[in-house]
Amino acid sequence: MGRTAEDPAFSPQHALELVRSAVPPVHPAGRPFVAAGLGMALLGRNSRWLRRAGLLTAGACAAFFRHPPRVPPTRPGVVVAPADGEICVIDSAAPPAELGMGEAPLPRISIFLSLLDAHVQRAPVSGEVTAVQHRPGRFGSADLAAASTDNERTSLRIRTDTGAEVVAVQIAGLLARRIVCDARVGDKVSIGDTYGLIRFGSRLDTYLPAGATPIVKVGQRALAGETVLAELP
């Protein structure tokens, strides 16, 4: 039988913990949107339509900006997915020119984020942030190949303790109009740490060091901070 209010083991604190374990927290960037929906519901408390619209907006925003806990792998020498979504491209390409890493092609893995995916980004490896570069661009559909070169983007370059360099690129999409990157040059990040967010549909490109071996396939689903994309050389 379930616990009841008369059960000494039942308490408001216990109920709160149950809710926290079942409902993912919201990324700080999403809280204003959730608050706006709740404010609409409060202002429209005498209007059934407005009240429902406000609650629906708040719920949709809470779902979109959810920040689910993740457990990164502990074995060394792996690169994890920086975002939730579907792996749409595995190829080789030159990293973003603004990073100054040259034009030699590097292994690249692209992840497409739909509106239903969690949109927080996580560090693909542990190391030091050596560059953060934003480049304005178009807002074309993120599932097109041209998105990697034409769309607005923010590139994050991380150097591991062994000297390997991994790049994660946040790419805006057709509906994405805001890229949030909280990482700064000189920051020390651990694999799986949250460092940013893209509002609405978008794409994440991960550039690997030469010789790294991708171990995922196109069409596979990835979980940020947990799915191993590749092994470092």
Section 132-155 average pLDDT: 84
According to the model, what pLDDT value does residue 100 have? 93
61 pLDDT band (50/70/90 cuts)? Answer: low
Q: Which of 8-22, 171-185, 187-201 has the highest mean pLDDT?
A: 187-201
According to the model, what pLDDT value does residue 81 have? 97
Say if 59 falls within a structural domain. yes
Rg from Cα positions in the chain: 20
Say if 33 falls within a structural domain. yes
Structural domain range at position 37: 12-64
Say if 5 falls within a structural domain. no
According to the model, what pLDDT value does residue 5 have? 47
Looking at residue 145, which CATH number applies to its domain? 2.70.70.10
pLDDT tens digits, residue range 62-117?
A: 666 766 888 999 999 999 999 999 999 999 999 999 999 999 999 999 999 887 88
Q: What's the angle, vertex CA 31, arms to CA 134 and CA 70, rounded to 5?
A: 75
Section 211-232 average pLDDT: 95
96 and 207 housed in the same domain = yes
More confident residue, 64 or 180: 180
Say if 167 falls within a structural domain. yes
According to the model, what pLDDT value does residue 96 have? 96
217 has a pLDDT exceeding 60: yes
128 and 60 housed in the same domain = no
Section 146-168 average pLDDT: 92
Percent of the chain whose pLDDT exceeds 70? 77
According to the model, what pLDDT value does residue 138 have? 81
130 and 191 housed in the same domain = yes
44 and 106 housed in the same domain = no
Task: Name the domain count of the chain.
Answer: 2
45 and 98 housed in the same domain = no
112 and 222 housed in the same domain = yes
Our measurement of the distance from residue 194's CA atom to the centroid of its chain's CA atoms, rounded to an integer in Å, reads 7
What is the rounded CA–CA span in Å between residue 229 and residue 122? 13
54 and 100 housed in the same domain = no
Section 148-156 average pLDDT: 90
Say if 7 falls within a structural domain. no
According to the model, what pLDDT value does residue 179 have? 87
b/e sequence 87-126, b meaning 16+ C-beta within 10 Å? bbbbeebebbeebebeeeebbbbbbbbeeebbbbbbbbbb
pLDDT tens digits, residue range 7-58?
A: 555 455 554 454 444 456 766 766 676 676 777 777 777 777 777 777 776 6
54 and 92 housed in the same domain = no
More confident residue, 124 or 35: 124
C-alpha closest to that of 30 among 70, 61, 76: 61
Specify the pTM: 0.77
What residues act catalytically? 202
Q: If residue 179 lies in a helix (H) or strand (E), which one and from where to where?
A: strand 179-181
192 has a pLDDT exceeding 80: yes
Say if 177 falls within a structural domain. yes
